[in-house]
Amino acid sequence: MIVHWDGHDLAEWDAVHTAAAGALQQGWDYGSSLKLLGVPVLRARVIDDGQQVAQAQFIVRKWGKFGAVALCTRGPIWSKSLAPEVEANVYKALKKSLPLTGIRFMAVTPEVPEGQVHGLHPMRRIMSGMSTVMLDMAQPISEIRAQLEGRWRTSLVSAESSAMTVHRVGTNEGQYRWLLDNEKQQRVDKQLEGLPLPFFDLYVQSRKQPAKNILTLRSDLGRDRIAAMMFLIHGEAATYQVGWTSDQGRELNAHHLILWHAVEELRERGVRVLDLGGVNTIRSAGVARFKMRTGGKVLTLAGTYI
């Protein structure tokens, strides 16, 4: 089993990531954007018997001159189904060949449900897994609508009959800057964390056609902006990343209307899976209910292993 840590081909990486509808954190553009912010990124391809069996992207956090930890979030992406013992060998090969000096650790938060650890058995879990809501976009639009929880659908119908309008926001920095400014204030007010805000500008421009990387929709009432949502597109998957609403937008269920428009447009762009992002039923119960009532599947990951 051989691990290649450099010399990767973008098209080959994209092909594997797209076929798996891989998570945002394993996308090439995610890593490239963080690199431009000065974050060390490692990419690995694992070859067994002349064929690729896995690829994994790591974000490196250094401890001065003493060492570092390489974190693979929601990966590796497997090229084919492997026996548990072979998966275990992949993790061992990655850990053994990790191109870092000093004290080094490899941490993996795999894209597997809680309880299905398979090849992770030799490793030790250090953190429980987060939960997110995954919406299957490959279904007919009528089925997606039929699976909406009753109260969610009622809110959507109410929003559709209101005077609100939904508009696509352009991909030039100045066209969506107001949304990121609101996101910055939200993080302060609610003590939230997230990707560095400059990341979004880099991600939008990471390909020649920015419109294929991002979808931002806003809801207006008359001339007033009352809500918006930003989705990052990665292959045939997308992730809900930023959302803001005014009090008026909340009262009118603006996010229900925006999300439904996003579902329709993302499906037209070939997106098969929409990741609605983490759910926390204790700290953000209202947001969690909004996501879970879409009919999406709650995915609780197995956790972080070293």
Contact criterion met (CB below 8 Å) for 298 and 133? yes
Whole-number pLDDT of residue 282: 80
For residue 53, the tally of other CB atoms under 10 A from its CB is 21
**pLDDT digits over 221-235, tens only?**
999 999 999 999 999
φ, ψ (nearest 5 deg) of residue 44: -130, 140
Tokens 């693979």 appear where? 72
Low-confidence ranges of the chain (pLDDT < 50): none
Q: Going from the N-terminus, what domains does the chain have, and what CATH number goes with each?
A: 2-123 (3.40.630.30), 133-300 (3.40.630.30)
In the chain, DSSP finds a helix count (H) and a strand count (E) of 10, 15
**pLDDT digits over 257-302, tens only?**
999 999 999 999 999 999 999 998 887 899 999 999 999 999 999 9
pTM value is 0.96
Whole-number pLDDT of residue 111: 95
Whole-number pLDDT of residue 63: 85
Contact criterion met (CB below 8 Å) for 77 and 56? yes
DSSP string, the chain: -EEE-S---HHHHHHHHHHTT--GGGSHHHHHHHHHTT--EEEEEEEETTEEEEEEEEEEEEETTTEEEEEEET-PEESS---HHHHHHHHHHHHHH----SEEEEEEE-S-BTT--GGGTTS-EEEPPPEEEEEETTS-HHHHHHTS-HHHHHHHHHHHTSS-EEEEEPSSHHHHHHHHHHHHHHHHHHT---S-THHHHHHHTSSS-GGGTEEEEEEEETTEEEEEEEEEEETTEEEEEEEEE-HHHHHTTHHHHHHHHHHHHHHHTT--EEEEEE--TTTSHHHHHHHHTTTPEEEEB--EE-
Whole-number pLDDT of residue 117: 80
Task: Measure the CA–CA gap between 207 and 219, rounded to whole angstroms.
Answer: 27
Cis preceding linkage at 76, omega within 30: yes
Tokens 């973008």 appear where? 10
